[in-house]
Amino acid sequence: MFDNGGAAPKERAEGEAPRHLRVTGGAQLSGAIDVKTSKNACVALLCASLLNRGTTTLRRVARIEEVNRILRVLASMGVRYEWIEQDLRLTPPERLDLTRIDADAARRTRSIIMFLGPLLHEYPEFELPFAGGCELGDRTVEPHMVALRRFGLAVETSGGAYCATVKDRVDPPGTIVLTERGDTVTENAIMAAARFPAVTVIRNASCNYMVQDLCFFLEHLGVRIDGAGTTTITVHGREDLDADVDYAPSEDPIEAWSLISAAIVTESEITVRRVPMEFTEIELALAEEMGLVYTRSPEYLAENGRTRLADLTVRPSRLRAPMDKIHPMPFPGLNIDNLPFFALLASCAEGSTMIHDWVYENRAIYLTELNRLGARVRLLDPHRLHVEGPVEWAGAEVTCPPALRPAVVLLLGMLRARGTSELRHINVIHRGYEHLAERLQLLGAEIEHI
């Protein structure tokens, strides 16, 4: 057990020298691997713990940098936390101290914006540092502001911070129509509504996995929520939330698809256990169209008692390009975070594939780094890629781009490439994956830290 005593935790990847990997490609992988709990759900639940005056215990939390960053921010505000093996226990102070907020940690994560919803109930005025995270281009925060204005929040930007003020009295929000069906936008609105003593209806809501976990968690806190998993969510708010709550977030569909992609690209037989099926079914259907062969176990429930899981055994498959372009959509469409892995799969498939990443301005260009390994990925514009396959993969030295999923795509490409590769500055991978290289080693991947 580790108790931080109110001090900020040390970030492994960002507090140490850059890390690098040497990969010898072509190894056949085998065995079974479990999917860990969701990065995005855990981060949302850490933010939501600010709503609770009692102790919050989260089960099987992945020890990743994104979690560390939020913990650093929470600890700087006075929240005490302790690790009990993989479980995380958080105890709030009598009063948060926002004057001591760790601005450096806050600026490294986009998730800091999800503090707005919980904090507006406690403080008439407060400041938060600008949100950061991966370098994926500009993303407007205006949809957050549109939703939270209904709860009396007004925000101005000054000196690299969000300067928030909250009206003393506001009318009940009633029905809120989100201008963007975003995950964090929806989560912010839900958290604001959770402690507003009225019924709030949120339309055009995201029904993605992290939003569902947030709803299930708040139900454990005593907040009645109708419509979780749909685009209309009704929150029956309570003025005070004070309960010792114990909750197990579900597994990460992005990590699940990363591991499935590792099996596909290495033409290996691997069993990926605890796959959240509701949030990977579109990806699996598209991969089946491309020729993926796999079997699945009967479904069972995650520890939260709600999310459907199954074990998938991926078998060596001959891939072909899909008939149509590949593009993400809000859930239940193909997840935006899983899109980069299809650039990798398309490079292994026979034919031409168009990939359209319409959400981010910068991310598509990072996927052209696959060309260093022998891929034929052509950037048509900031959002569209043309991919030709199959290709002759060859080892190379590549520096990780400053974006999580493209960095992992490069690592998986190196598993396929002939010869030896070096992936440099892998710290970004630790943002969202716990011991990914070591876990791939257990499946037979030839990876070493250098």
Sketch the domain layout of the chain as residue ranges. 7-36+251-449, 39-247
CATH class of the domain whose range is 7-36+251-449: alpha beta
Equal CATH topology for 7-36+251-449 and 39-247? yes
- pLDDT interval class at 2 (50, 70, 90): very low
Q: How far is CA 425 from the centre of its chain?
A: 20
- In a 3-state reduction of DSSP, which class is residue 342? helix
**For residue 1, pLDDT beyond 70:** no
CB distance 95 to 105 below 8 Å: no
- What is the pLDDT averaged over residues 89-107? 92
- pLDDT interval class at 268 (50, 70, 90): very high
Q: Is 77 left (phi over 0), alpha (psi -120 to 50) or beta?
A: alpha
**For residue 3, pLDDT beyond 90:** no
Query: pLDDT: is 408 or 179 the higher one?
Result: 408
How much is the pTM?
Answer: 0.92
- pLDDT interval class at 31 (50, 70, 90): very high
With respect to CATH, is domain 39-247 assigned 3.50.30.10?
A: no
Among residues 116, 185, 126, 183, which one has the least CA distance to residue 151? 116
Query: pLDDT: is 142 or 204 the higher one?
Result: 204
- In a 3-state reduction of DSSP, which class is residue 272? strand
- pLDDT interval class at 9 (50, 70, 90): very low
